[in-house]
A and B are shown apart, each in its own frame.
Chain A
Amino acid sequence: DAGVTQSPTHLIKTRGQQVTLRCSPKSGHDTVSWYQQALGQGPQFIFQYYEEEERQRGNFPDRFSGHQFPNYSSELNVNALLLGDSALYLCASSLVGRGPYEQYFGPGTRLTVT
Protein backbone atom coordinates (compact mmCIF):
# COMPACT_ATOMS: atom_id res chain seq x y z
CA ASP A 1 0.00 0.00 0.00
CA ALA A 2 1.73 3.15 -1.23
CA GLY A 3 1.89 5.99 1.23
CA VAL A 4 1.86 9.70 0.43
CA THR A 5 4.45 10.62 -2.15
CA GLN A 6 5.81 14.05 -2.99
CA SER A 7 8.04 15.44 -5.72
CA PRO A 8 10.57 16.79 -6.06
CA THR A 9 12.54 16.01 -2.91
CA HIS A 10 14.60 19.17 -3.02
CA LEU A 11 14.30 22.36 -5.01
CA ILE A 12 16.36 25.53 -5.24
CA LYS A 13 14.75 28.64 -6.70
CA THR A 14 15.61 32.30 -7.02
CA ARG A 15 13.60 35.07 -5.39
CA GLY A 16 10.74 36.17 -7.66
CA GLN A 17 10.44 32.83 -9.46
CA GLN A 18 7.49 30.47 -9.38
CA VAL A 19 7.45 26.87 -8.15
CA THR A 20 5.12 23.87 -8.41
CA LEU A 21 5.19 21.02 -5.92
CA ARG A 22 3.35 17.74 -6.40
CA CYS A 23 1.65 15.24 -4.13
CA SER A 24 0.02 11.85 -4.58
CA PRO A 25 -2.21 10.81 -1.68
CA LYS A 26 -2.23 7.49 0.12
CA SER A 27 -4.23 4.86 -1.73
CA GLY A 28 -7.94 5.23 -0.96
CA HIS A 29 -7.66 8.79 0.34
CA ASP A 30 -9.57 11.65 -1.27
CA THR A 31 -8.46 14.76 0.61
CA VAL A 32 -5.12 16.53 0.41
CA SER A 33 -3.83 19.17 2.81
CA TRP A 34 -0.66 21.21 2.41
CA TYR A 35 1.52 22.47 5.25
CA GLN A 36 4.61 24.64 5.45
CA GLN A 37 7.22 23.74 8.05
CA ALA A 38 9.94 26.27 8.75
CA LEU A 39 13.14 25.03 10.35
CA GLY A 40 12.60 24.21 14.02
CA GLN A 41 8.86 24.91 13.88
CA GLY A 42 5.67 22.91 13.73
CA PRO A 43 3.87 22.61 10.38
CA GLN A 44 1.54 25.49 9.44
CA PHE A 45 -1.65 24.73 7.51
CA ILE A 46 -1.77 26.26 4.02
CA PHE A 47 -4.95 24.83 2.50
CA GLN A 48 -6.96 21.68 1.94
CA TYR A 49 -8.47 20.23 -1.24
CA TYR A 50 -11.44 17.91 -1.55
CA GLU A 51 -13.46 17.12 -4.69
CA GLU A 52 -11.08 19.33 -6.67
CA GLU A 53 -11.99 22.41 -4.66
CA GLU A 54 -10.20 24.37 -1.98
CA ARG A 55 -12.13 23.57 1.17
CA GLN A 56 -10.16 25.39 3.83
CA ARG A 57 -7.37 27.93 3.80
CA GLY A 58 -4.87 29.00 6.42
CA ASN A 59 -3.27 32.40 6.86
CA PHE A 60 -1.21 32.39 3.66
CA PRO A 61 -1.21 35.03 0.88
CA ASP A 62 -2.74 34.51 -2.55
CA ARG A 63 0.74 33.79 -3.91
CA PHE A 64 0.05 30.29 -2.62
CA SER A 65 -2.43 28.43 -4.78
CA GLY A 66 -3.26 24.83 -5.43
CA HIS A 67 -5.12 22.34 -7.49
CA GLN A 68 -6.53 18.87 -7.07
CA PHE A 69 -6.93 16.50 -9.99
CA PRO A 70 -9.67 13.88 -10.59
CA ASN A 71 -7.27 11.15 -9.38
CA TYR A 72 -6.97 13.06 -6.05
CA SER A 73 -3.36 14.09 -6.61
CA SER A 74 -2.56 17.72 -5.92
CA GLU A 75 -0.22 20.56 -6.76
CA LEU A 76 0.95 23.50 -4.69
CA ASN A 77 2.02 26.59 -6.61
CA VAL A 78 3.90 29.50 -5.12
CA ASN A 79 4.39 32.68 -7.18
CA ALA A 80 6.82 35.55 -6.67
CA LEU A 81 8.98 33.57 -4.27
CA LEU A 82 10.39 35.31 -1.22
CA LEU A 83 13.37 34.29 0.87
CA GLY A 84 10.92 33.56 3.69
CA ASP A 85 9.23 30.88 1.59
CA SER A 86 12.22 28.62 2.20
CA ALA A 87 10.81 25.68 4.16
CA LEU A 88 9.80 22.04 4.07
CA TYR A 89 6.46 21.72 2.28
CA LEU A 90 4.42 18.79 3.48
CA CYS A 91 1.44 17.14 1.91
CA ALA A 92 -0.98 15.12 4.03
CA SER A 93 -3.81 12.92 2.83
CA SER A 94 -6.95 11.75 4.57
CA LEU A 95 -10.35 10.26 3.87
CA VAL A 96 -13.37 12.52 4.26
CA GLY A 97 -16.33 10.85 5.91
CA ARG A 98 -14.15 8.62 8.03
CA GLY A 99 -13.56 10.50 11.24
CA PRO A 100 -11.41 11.55 12.92
CA TYR A 101 -9.75 12.65 9.70
CA GLU A 102 -6.44 10.95 10.38
CA GLN A 103 -3.89 12.71 8.24
CA TYR A 104 -0.86 10.92 6.86
CA PHE A 105 2.10 12.98 5.76
CA GLY A 106 4.50 12.56 2.89
CA PRO A 107 8.27 13.07 3.18
CA GLY A 108 8.03 16.69 2.07
CA THR A 109 9.73 18.89 -0.49
CA ARG A 110 12.60 21.02 0.79
CA LEU A 111 12.38 24.41 -0.97
CA THR A 112 15.30 26.79 -0.77
CA VAL A 113 14.87 30.32 -2.12
CA THR A 114 18.08 32.25 -2.78
Chain B
Amino acid sequence: QQQVKQSPQSLIVQKGGISIINCAYENTAFDYFPWYQQFPGKGPALLIAIRPDVSEKKEGRFTISFNKSAKQFSLHIMDSQPGDSATYFCAASIRSQGGKLIFGQGTELSVKP
Protein backbone atom coordinates (compact mmCIF):
# COMPACT_ATOMS: atom_id res chain seq x y z
CA GLN B 1 0.00 0.00 0.00
CA GLN B 2 3.03 2.23 0.35
CA GLN B 3 4.11 1.73 -3.26
CA VAL B 4 4.11 4.25 -6.06
CA LYS B 5 4.13 2.66 -9.52
CA GLN B 6 5.65 4.62 -12.38
CA SER B 7 5.52 4.09 -16.12
CA PRO B 8 7.00 3.90 -18.65
CA GLN B 9 10.46 2.77 -17.59
CA SER B 10 11.99 4.60 -20.55
CA LEU B 11 10.73 7.13 -23.06
CA ILE B 12 12.09 8.53 -26.30
CA VAL B 13 10.60 11.78 -27.60
CA GLN B 14 11.48 14.03 -30.50
CA LYS B 15 12.53 17.60 -29.81
CA GLY B 16 9.44 19.77 -29.52
CA GLY B 17 7.19 16.87 -28.61
CA ILE B 18 5.26 16.18 -25.41
CA SER B 19 6.69 13.79 -22.82
CA ILE B 20 4.16 12.08 -20.56
CA ILE B 21 5.07 10.05 -17.47
CA ASN B 22 2.45 8.36 -15.33
CA CYS B 23 2.29 7.31 -11.68
CA ALA B 24 -0.27 5.42 -9.62
CA TYR B 25 -0.61 4.98 -5.88
CA GLU B 26 -2.74 2.97 -3.44
CA ASN B 27 -2.49 4.80 -0.13
CA THR B 28 -5.23 7.43 -0.02
CA ALA B 29 -3.48 9.09 2.94
CA PHE B 30 -0.81 10.47 0.60
CA ASP B 31 -1.28 14.24 0.37
CA TYR B 32 1.80 15.57 -1.38
CA PHE B 33 3.03 14.48 -4.80
CA PRO B 34 6.35 15.90 -6.07
CA TRP B 35 8.27 15.16 -9.23
CA TYR B 36 12.05 15.08 -9.27
CA GLN B 37 14.53 15.28 -12.15
CA GLN B 38 17.88 13.54 -11.85
CA PHE B 39 20.88 13.84 -14.14
CA PRO B 40 23.62 11.17 -14.09
CA GLY B 41 25.91 11.59 -11.11
CA LYS B 42 23.67 14.20 -9.49
CA GLY B 43 21.06 14.23 -6.75
CA PRO B 44 17.35 14.53 -7.59
CA ALA B 45 16.15 18.10 -8.13
CA LEU B 46 12.61 19.11 -7.18
CA LEU B 47 10.72 20.06 -10.35
CA ILE B 48 7.10 20.59 -9.41
CA ALA B 49 4.67 19.30 -6.79
CA ILE B 50 0.93 19.09 -6.29
CA ARG B 51 -1.57 18.56 -3.48
CA PRO B 52 -4.66 16.37 -3.98
CA ASP B 53 -7.10 19.29 -3.71
CA VAL B 54 -5.84 20.56 -7.07
CA SER B 55 -6.37 18.75 -10.39
CA GLU B 56 -3.62 20.47 -12.34
CA LYS B 57 -0.53 22.57 -11.70
CA LYS B 58 1.62 24.20 -14.36
CA GLU B 59 5.10 25.67 -14.06
CA GLY B 60 6.66 26.71 -17.34
CA ARG B 61 6.80 23.71 -19.66
CA PHE B 62 6.02 21.25 -16.82
CA THR B 63 2.46 20.32 -15.86
CA ILE B 64 1.19 17.86 -13.25
CA SER B 65 -2.26 16.38 -13.82
CA PHE B 66 -3.88 14.75 -10.78
CA ASN B 67 -6.83 12.34 -10.75
CA LYS B 68 -7.79 11.68 -7.14
CA SER B 69 -10.56 9.17 -7.89
CA ALA B 70 -8.26 7.08 -10.06
CA LYS B 71 -5.31 7.55 -7.66
CA GLN B 72 -3.12 8.57 -10.56
CA PHE B 73 -0.98 11.55 -11.44
CA SER B 74 1.16 12.40 -14.41
CA LEU B 75 3.90 14.74 -15.54
CA HIS B 76 3.66 16.43 -18.93
CA ILE B 77 6.71 18.11 -20.42
CA MET B 78 5.68 20.39 -23.27
CA ASP B 79 8.06 21.34 -26.10
CA SER B 80 10.57 18.75 -24.88
CA GLN B 81 14.23 19.71 -25.36
CA PRO B 82 17.43 17.63 -25.47
CA GLY B 83 18.40 19.27 -22.17
CA ASP B 84 15.36 17.59 -20.58
CA SER B 85 17.00 14.19 -21.11
CA ALA B 86 17.25 12.81 -17.58
CA THR B 87 15.60 10.35 -15.21
CA TYR B 88 12.31 11.51 -13.71
CA PHE B 89 10.89 10.23 -10.44
CA CYS B 90 7.44 10.69 -9.05
CA ALA B 91 7.00 10.50 -5.31
CA ALA B 92 4.34 10.68 -2.65
CA SER B 93 4.29 11.49 1.03
CA ILE B 94 2.05 12.12 4.01
CA ARG B 95 2.89 15.58 5.28
CA SER B 96 1.61 15.00 8.82
CA GLN B 97 4.02 12.08 9.14
CA GLY B 98 7.07 14.20 8.45
CA GLY B 99 7.19 14.02 4.70
CA LYS B 100 8.95 10.70 4.16
CA LEU B 101 9.04 10.38 0.38
CA ILE B 102 8.00 7.16 -1.37
CA PHE B 103 9.51 7.16 -4.85
CA GLY B 104 8.47 5.51 -8.08
CA GLN B 105 10.95 3.41 -10.02
CA GLY B 106 11.92 6.21 -12.38
CA THR B 107 11.55 6.99 -16.09
CA GLU B 108 14.60 7.55 -18.26
CA LEU B 109 13.68 10.24 -20.78
CA SER B 110 15.68 10.77 -23.96
CA VAL B 111 14.80 13.74 -26.18
CA LYS B 112 16.18 13.36 -29.68
CA PRO B 113 17.21 16.49 -31.64
A: residues with CB less than 8 A from B are: 4, 31, 33, 35, 40-45, 48, 50, 55-56, 58, 90, 92, 94, 96, 99-108
Bound together, the chains give a CA A99 to CA B51 distance in angstroms of 11
Do B49 and A50 touch across chains, with their CB atoms under 8 A apart?
no
* Residue B42 CB within 8 A of the other chain: yes
Do A40 and B106 touch across chains, with their CB atoms under 8 A apart?
yes
Bound together, the chains give a CA A27 to CA B58 distance in angstroms of 27
A-B contact pairs, 28 of them (CB 8 A): A4-B43, A33-B99, A41-B106, A42-B104, A42-B106, A43-B44, A43-B89, A45-B101, A45-B102, A48-B98, A48-B99, A50-B98, A55-B98, A56-B97, A100-B51, A100-B95, A101-B32, A101-B93, A101-B95, A101-B98, A101-B99, A102-B34, A102-B46, A103-B46, A103-B99, A103-B101, A105-B43, A105-B45
**Distance between B24 CB and nearest chain A CB, rounded to angstroms:** 14
* Residue B66 CB within 8 A of the other chain: no
In chain B, positions 25-42 with a C-beta closer than 8 Å to chain A are 31-32, 34, 36, 41-42
In chain B, positions 84-113 with a C-beta closer than 8 Å to chain A are 89, 91, 93, 95, 97-106
- Chain A: which residue is nearest B4 at the CB level? A42
Do B43 and A107 touch across chains, with their CB atoms under 8 A apart?
yes
- Chain B: which residue is nearest A90 at the CB level? B43
The interface on chain B, measured as residues whose beta carbon lies within 8 A of the other chain's beta carbons, has a size of 27
For the complex of A and B, the 5 pairs showing the least CB-CB separation, nearest first, are A101-B99, A42-B103, A105-B43, A100-B32, A105-B44
Contacts of B100 in A (CB 8 A): 33, 45, 48, 56, 58
Bound together, the chains give a CA A31 to CA B99 distance in angstroms of 10
Contacts of B104 in A (CB 8 A): 42
Contacts of B49 in A (CB 8 A): 100, 102
Contacts of A48 in B (CB 8 A): 98-100
Known A-B contacts A41-B105, A41-B106, A43-B103; A104 and B46 likewise in contact (beta carbons under 8 Å): yes
